[in-house]
Amino acid sequence: MALTVNQIGDNPQQPGIFAETYIPDQLIAGNLKLVTQPITLASGTLARGSVLGKVTEGAVTVGAGTNTGNGTVGSVARGVNAKLGAYTLTATSATTFTVTDPEGESLPEATVGTAYVNPEITFTITAGATAFAAGDSFTLTVGAGSGEYVLSVATATDGSQRPAAILVDYADASAGAVAAGAYVMGEFNGNYLTFDASWTLAALIAAMPPGIFVKTAVSAADPT
């Protein structure tokens, strides 16, 4: 392909005149200091003002203690309130296990053969040929996530269900992760935000992290 070469002399300036009009987009809704940080956007083609969540939780790994019973744990999944670290399941009988979260808090007991469904974690303990004995145990460890950002979805279970930032400018991560900028502090116009349909604006406002304030009495229309 042939390239057109433009020659520029020592004094390239020429007389000229032009006019520009600055029209703010109404995303910023107050004078609170804006704080931004560089992020990695994992996926999606997102507009300026998109509400982002951070992927803080990864896969769940299952470990077994030195057990008498040879049953297993399966159908393991994070819940929307999952915590990083190890959930401990300890048998109190052949059919009942206590459940403790990574912070040492007790959750409802689990019954062998019955699906355990909790906002933090779900699983099913299945009996084997040899019955469980008191003291048998399993650990379900929620690993760390990628730390990348995606459009926040209220029903996600990887940490991105918690709003964490607002996208500074249009970014296209449809072909893979890209570098972008995000607001982590400021006052923003709720009528201009872009967010997933799993959220209502009221619920989103309540879920915003400290430092991000959303106003709803500001029009999203361009000023005239």
How do residues 133-160 score in pLDDT, each as one tens digit? 999 999 999 999 999 999 999 999 999 9
Rounded to an integer, the average pLDDT of 182-190 is 96
pLDDT of 224 > 60? The answer is: no
Which of 154, 60, 78 is closest to 116 using CA atoms? 78
Encoded amino acid at 122, one letter: T
Question: Do 158 and 121 belong together in one domain?
Answer: no
What is the pLDDT confidence band of residue 218, given thresholds at 50, 70 and 90? low
Q: What percent of the chain has pLDDT over 70?
A: 89
Structural domain span for residue 158: 35-56+147-215
Q: Check whether residue 50 and residue 62 sit in a common domain.
A: no
Residue 8 has pLDDT above 80, yes or no: no
Quote the pLDDT of residue 1.
Answer: 58
Predicted local distance difference test score (pLDDT) of residue 11: 64
Give the pTM: 0.77
Same domain, 77 and 116: yes
Are residue 138 and residue 62 in the same domain, yes or no? yes
pLDDT confidence of residue 5: 79
pLDDT tens track for 81-130: 999 999 999 999 999 999 999 999 999 999 999 999 999 999 999 999 99
Count how many residues are written for the chain.
Answer: 224
Q: Of 144, 165, 188, at which residue does a domain stop?
A: 144
Characterize the bridge pairing of strands 163-167 and 96-100. unpaired
Quick one: average pLDDT of 169-173? 96
Q: Residue 13: is its pLDDT beyond 80? A: no
**CATH number reported for the structural domain that contains residue 48 in this entry:** 2.40.300.10
Residues 137 and 187 both lie in one domain: no
Pairing type for strands 72-78 and 121-126 reads: antiparallel
Residue 28 falls inside a structural domain: no
Token pair for residue 26? 């109404």
Is 70 part of a structural domain of the chain? yes
The answer on 177 and 106 residing in a single domain is no
Tokens, residue 5: 């070469």
**Structural domains in the chain (count):** 2
Mean pLDDT calculated for residue range 26-39: 94
